[in-house]
Amino acid sequence: MAGGGPVDVLVIGAGMVGAACAYSCAAAGLRVTVLERGAVASGTTSAGEGNILVSDKEPGAELELALLSVRLWAGLAERLGAQRLEFEAKGGVVVARTVEAAEGLAALAAAQRDRGVEVVDVTAAELAELEPHLTREVRSGAYYRQDMQVQPVLAAAELLRRSRLLGATVHTGCEVLGLRRGRDGAVVGATTTAGGFSARFTVNAAGTWGGDVAAMAGVHVPVLPRKGFILVTEPLPRVVRHKVYSADYVANVASGDAGLETSVVVEGTRAGTVLIGASRERVGFDRQVSLPVLRRLAAQAIDLFPFLADVTLLRSYLGFRPYCPDHLPVIGADPRAPGLVHACGHEGAGIGLAAATGHLIAQTLTGAVPDLDLTPFRPDRFAEDAA
């Protein structure tokens, strides 16, 4: 294979965000080519739980992006088929176990409610009705109807399949070696192990490696890997009905600490397994398995759902979330490198925010007014010396 002819949009990365960008752009009538150095969804997407959440977003730009995305995901599930995506509008339950946590959760829920989040404060007794196997040592909680889930690899593959039906091409095993520049310095495509590709717009949807792709154009986008583990149990009857997590999870998501942080997140899947997370630490691309971290996650899960003490763990896996210092993704055209458009840096929310990201990228590239103001996500917001 020797590259490809000129297209409108060249998407670098076939994870969930790249797949969503490809689908939205193809659906908007643009000619699309996707480049992926590995297999479809073989990076961070393959190590995700498939969460589509508003519950863990504080009021601000990311919450507005999440609210748009949950609406778009619901539409995608209806249009593409919920079964094909393993889409579940299961709702989320956040649990507070101390007076301080209960007060903080109630305040967050009130602020989110003012921004359009459908959240209901629930008592300890109501928590027992929502999740009968939950520990009774809880003070209060919040129920988020809009929280959803997909199977991330299936969903990314389906979006790319639909993109192909709309005329897009997808090249896997095709590593980007550099970005091509026109006489005026604009990015006009990419050079790869499979030859050269030309495009009017090049979309950087490389996830954790988004900073590396940006550097190929001589621009600074500080996307860093943030390592996390997930535990997977044996298949069970549907014993965990919602996504359930402790109130301190929101604080850990927003933290910039490089050290290890864990806060329990437990949810069931259609396959019957229970997924347990979440840990976060910045240790580069170190893939070493840490038994102390796995033990801590297991202990926190048992503390929340005591029945898990008698359940067998089948496996664990790890991934690297694409972390930006201000915890916001990078979305939109880069004024420092005309022709380059970014869609990366979503940290642990890439699955959930993918639908909105792809939609906004397609609007940008077709000249439409985006449904959200992209200023908070602009690529040039970082200082050159950002850590």
Contact 230, 243 (CB under 8 A): no
How far apart are alpha carbons 333 and 240 in whole angstroms?
A: 42
Which pLDDT tens digit goes with each residue over 63-112? 999 999 999 999 999 999 999 999 999 999 999 999 999 999 999 999 99
Query: Is the preceding omega at residue 278 within 30 degrees of 0, hence cis?
Result: yes
Burial of 154-193, coded b for 16+ CB within 10 Å and e otherwise, reads bbbbbbbbbbeebebbbbeebebeebbbeeeebbbbbbbe
What residues does 120 pair with on adjacent strands? 143
Residue 150 confidence (pLDDT) above 80 = yes
Tracing tokens 């033990």 back to the chain, one arrives at 295
How far apart are alpha carbons 254 and 383 in whole angstroms?
A: 20
- How many other CB atoms are there within 10 angstroms of residue 42's CB atom? 16
Query: Angle of helix 152-165 relative to helix 16-27, nearest 10 degrees?
Result: 30
Residue 179 confidence (pLDDT) above 70 = yes
Which pLDDT tens digit goes with each residue over 197-228? 999 999 999 999 999 999 999 999 999 999 99
For 64-67, the CB contacts below 8 A with 24+ separation are 64/115, 64/372, 65/329, 65/353, 65/356, 65/357, 65/372, 65/377, 66/349, 66/352, 66/353, 66/356, 67/115, 67/116, 67/117, 67/146
Poorest-pLDDT segment among 5-14, 132-141, 282-291, 378-387 = 378-387
Strand 313-323 with 274-280, pairing: unpaired
How far apart are alpha carbons 332 and 10 in whole angstroms?
A: 14
Mention every residue, 6+ apart, whose C-beta is less than 8 A from residue 91. Answer: 143, 144, 145, 146, 147, 242, 243
Closest CA to 149 of 233, 64, 54, 57: 54
How far apart are alpha carbons 248 and 96 in whole angstroms?
A: 8
Closest CA to 157 of 88, 85, 77: 85
Among 46-50, 142-146, 293-297, the range of highest mean pLDDT? 142-146
Which pLDDT tens digit goes with each residue over 262-271? 778 999 988 8
Q: How many CA atoms lie within 13 A of 290 on its CB side?
A: 18
Q: What per-residue confidence (pLDDT) applies to 110?
A: 98
Confidence of residue 386 (pLDDT cuts 50, 70, 90): very low
Residue 385 confidence (pLDDT) above 80 = no
**In the predicted model, what is the mean pLDDT of the chain?**
93
- Across the range 165-189, mean pLDDT stands at 97
Q: How many CA atoms lie within 13 A of 278 on its CB side?
A: 28
Q: What per-residue confidence (pLDDT) applies to 287?
A: 85
> In this structure, what token pair is assigned to residue 271?
């396959």
Q: What per-residue confidence (pLDDT) applies to 3?
A: 76
Q: How many CA atoms lie within 13 A of 186 on its CB side?
A: 11
Mention every residue, 6+ apart, whose C-beta is less than 8 A from residue 119. Answer: 55, 109, 112, 113, 142, 143, 144, 145
Percent of the chain with pLDDT over 90: 86
